[in-house]
Structure 1
Amino acid sequence: MDEEDELVASLPVFLNGVPGSASANEQGAARTPRLELFQYPLYQRDHALPVPASAAQRGQAVASRWRPLANRVEMELPLDVRPTVYNAEKGAEYAEATERLGKIPVPGQVKQERPMTDTPRFDRMRLESATVPNAAEYMICTVKNGELHLTPLHAVLQMRPSMQHVDMLHEAKANERHGRAPASDDDADAQQPPVAADKRAGVVSLNVSVRTDTPRAGMQSGRAPHHAHDADAERWVDLRWVDESAPGAWEAAEAQLLSPARAPLYCNTRVRDFL
């Protein structure tokens, strides 16, 4: 600090939880909140997740679920299905192709059965989490009543649109084409006149290469699919999504972000050591 700089305020610092990783929770640290930061690259910053007015009128809301061990999160956002902005024909194709996926339930919300006479409609966009590696130890700072509280950030997750509906539609169309392929092949064979087999001997060239890959590399690369299989087998935990406009949201956030410990932290590092 330069001599001309004026000291505006001096705040006591309190640590809320144990910095490091999620292992603090697993080892039984008392009242350590698990705080994660969600990023939405395709949505507007400093705004709540978009729920179209037409979707809210239908009783739809943001749905989410979580796999604790894999720390994988999925969300579903309602779509605007007004005829002016929605392709009903394409939506019906996506809905039919993704029917086996089901929908993420909202805790406390009564499940509405679609009448059999109604056309299926793809009315939700699913987001999947991708973990962002931490380059450093991040903390969230909360200032209240002249005190500064630091809460460790356990993970940063980017919520990206899932393209499962596109893949499953392509798969369904490919299966449909494959189902018609044998009939068309038989028809083509029936139309072709028989050709006498040529039994003359010929010379065939063969190229032989020696494989030099070591089996150890293959064994190491096979671990990732094993862990991915374990993550896919983990049971989902349905979550209730609460945004800043929900009653009691700010009170609940403060209860998690303010440290119950009243012993202030003191810095033992000299200024010249980190400048």
Structure 2
Amino acid sequence: MKADDADADPLVAEIPVYLAKTLADQLYVLQYPVRPHSHNYDESTILKTTIRPQSGQIEMELGLRTRGPTYDKSKGEQIALNVDGAFRDKRDSEDNFYKSSVMDKLVLTSTKALSDVSRYAVGVVRDSSLHLTPIAAVLALRPSFSYLDLADKRGRQERKDTSGEADDSDDDEKIKKVTVRFEKPETVKSRKAKEKSYGFLLRQIREEPWIEVAYHKYGSERSDFEMRKLYCMYEHEHVDQFSLGSQEYLSQLVPPTREVQATASGLPANLISRSALLSLPLHDRVKTVMTNAGVASFGELLGVFGYGSSVESALSVLKVLQQVAVLVQGNWVVKSDILYPKDSKSESGIPNELIQRGRDFVLYLFTKNTNVVRTEVGDVVGLPGNDLKDILLGVSRYQGSRAVWEFILPTDISFMKKYPEVVQRQQMIWQSRSEQLSHIFKDKQVKQDDTSKAGPSTASKKPRAVRIKLEPSDELSDTQPQPAKQRRGNRDAR
């Protein structure tokens, strides 16, 4: 640096920097992205605050001013009636979602705004010195509309009480069966794969209990006491590890930028932050989640995107979802051409185009029944055992007691009742696809029969027709393999 440049930019002051660690693992930065700064929640009444420390989730209940000129009392009464029901006055107030006869509270739920907060800290200046405290998380708080789910559930229960109709949840409980399985010993590889799965992460979040904490407003005595912990208590101590060279200091202060890897193997909820996922366009967002999840219910997808019960957001997701997935048993399964690109091959050397056909045939069978028999599928699609097993493992689980493969998720009857137009459209798509597969597999069998007739050693073999069964039954799984073995035996004898 030249002397003239140094004189033009003189050093104004030097201030010491201290690192405070008293609140290092407990300091959260809360953001309110849908609330303007001029209308903050500082003067709101906080009814209840709960937190999940490991998952980094916060939930706050705020009291609403029901007597102000901007409050629609009739609408508030209607919402309270839909959520708590007409007989809310006959129950204990603790059992009602709203304590009064109107909508008297608002619930805020948090999502992580940043996946990596190691570069961020809260700084305060005192006596010409800067005190920095590392933060645990940056959370964005938005209004939750979970009361819409409660209203919908209350409405179904009241219709059941008045008309005697069976509830969807009751039907699910009736068809549930308890089975005992002896699983293989878990290896390190399988355990790591399990810990990366979306279901495992979601179960961990749900199993973590909510911890109720006390909320102290800014300016209160307890708030001032906690704010003192933002200052370093040991200003006389020095940390030698922060004595860095100029270049190293600059690289630590302003590290080189990196592009966010939005598409990676594994589920987005595990490998990329929610903020990075939400920054993608809706089509890419849905495609990324479905590609990694494989099979998911509509409710789970809305939970991943943080949409809750928003009707408009649900319709937007549903519109894009039909472009990247197909409906099977009321659940969504990623399309075969997305999971198996056309210009690639499997580990067995089979072109992915054949894998797509085989997988579509398996999915079509699952649209007609919740379980399939592997031997019946193998006779039709003609894929190697490893490829067929990979297809089945992606969408089903093996039930050894019945020797069948059962679809991995229970039938989502509530979705099928809520969106009948989507179900009908998907049925038409599957009917058209089944006709295409039927012609493909029949033409393939005819070519094989023509080839066998041309050879001298197989001229006496009879052609065997291949037929796509619409509804495979368990009874066929015990009787079909025996004739096949007899035919092979007779041909060998001849």
* TM-score when normalising by structure 2: 0.36
State the one-letter code of the partner of 2:28: E
Among 60, 73, 77, the alignment partner of 1:75 is 60
User: Which residue of 202, 209, 220 maps to 1:228?
Assistant: 202
Q: Equivalents in 1 of 2:16, 2:225: separation in Å?
A: 22
SS of 2:221's equivalent in the other structure is coil
1:16 maps to a residue whose letter is A
Does the aligned pair in 2 maintain the 1:12–1:264 contact within 8 Å?
Answer: no
1:264/1:272 Cα in 2 relative to 1: closer, same or farther (>3 Å)?
closer
Shift of 1:13: 1.4
How far 1:131 sits from its partner (Å)? 0.9
TM-superposed deviation, 1:133: 2.1
Partner of 2:154: 172
| Paired letter, 2:243 | C
The structural deviation recorded for 1:98 is 4.3
Q: Could you tell which deviates more after superposition, 256-265 or 2-11?
A: 256-265
Residue 174 of structure 1 deviates from its aligned partner by 4.7
Counterpart in 2 of 1:148?
Answer: 130
State the SS of the aligned residue for 1:49: coil
| Cα deviation digits, residues 96-129 of structure 1 (max 9, x gap) | 45459xxxxxxxxxxx879xxx962220000001
The answer for the alignment partner of 1:15 in structure 2 is 19
The 5 A counterparts of 1:1-275 are: 2-3=5-6, 4-17=8-21, 32=24, 34-45=26-37, 48-49=40-41, 51=43, 60-82=45-67, 84-99=69-84, 120-134=101-115, 137-176=119-158, 223-254=197-228, 256-262=229-235, 263-265=237-239, 266-271=242-247, 274=250
Q: Matched residue of 1:253: which SS? A: helix
Q: Please give the secondary structure, in 1, of the residue aligned with 2:206.
A: helix
Please give the alpha-carbon distance, in whole angstroms, between the structure 2 residues aligned to 1:46 and 1:156: 21
Please tell me whether the aligned partners of residues 27 and 134 of structure 2 are also in contact (alpha carbons under 8 angstroms): yes
Do the aligned residues in 2 keep the contact of 1:50 with 1:77 (CA within 8 Å)? no
Residues 141 and 148 in structure 1, CA contact (< 8 A), matched pair in contact too: yes
Distance 1:8 1:127 in 2: 45
After TM superposition, give the deviation of residue 146 of structure 1 in Å: 2.0
What's the secondary structure of 1:11's corresponding residue? Answer: coil
Task: Kindly indicate whether the alpha-carbon contact (under 8 Å) linking 2:24 and 2:135 is maintained by their aligned counterparts in 1.
Answer: no
Q: Which runs of 5+ in 1 are unaligned?
A: 18-29, 53-59, 101-111, 184-215
Cα separation, 1, equivalents of 2:33 and 2:233: 34
Say which SS state the counterpart of residue 245 (structure 1) adopts: coil
Local SS of the residue matching 1:125: strand
Tell me, in whole angstroms, the C-alpha distance in 1 between the residues paired with 2:116 and 2:196: 27
CA distance in 2, matches of 1:92, 1:177: 20
What is the CA-CA distance between 1:9 and the residue it aligns to?
1.1
Distance 2:230 2:200 in 1: 37
CA contact (8 A) 1:13 1:264 kept: no
Question: Would the alpha carbon gap of residues 119 and 7 (structure 1) be closer, same or farther in structure 2, given more than 3 Å must change?
Answer: closer
Secondary structure at the aligned position of 2:37 is classed as coil
CA contact (8 A) 1:51 1:77 kept: no
Q: Structure 1 residues 221 and 142 mapped into 2: Cα distance closer, same or farther (>3 Å)? A: closer
The code of the aligned residue for 2:72 comes to N
Q: CA deviation at 1:81?
A: 0.8
Q: In 1, distance between residues paired with 2:210 and 2:148?
A: 23
SS of aligned partner of 1:238? strand
SS in 1 for 2:199: helix
User: Partner of 2:34: helix, strand, or coil?
Assistant: coil
- The one-letter amino acid paired with 1:144 is R
Q: Cα distance 1:48–1:166, how it changes in 2: closer, same or farther (>3 A)?
A: same
Residue identity matched to 1:257: L
User: What is the one-letter code of the residue matched to 1:10?
Assistant: E
SS in 2 for 1:235: coil
Instruction: State the match for 1:27 in structure 2.
Output: none
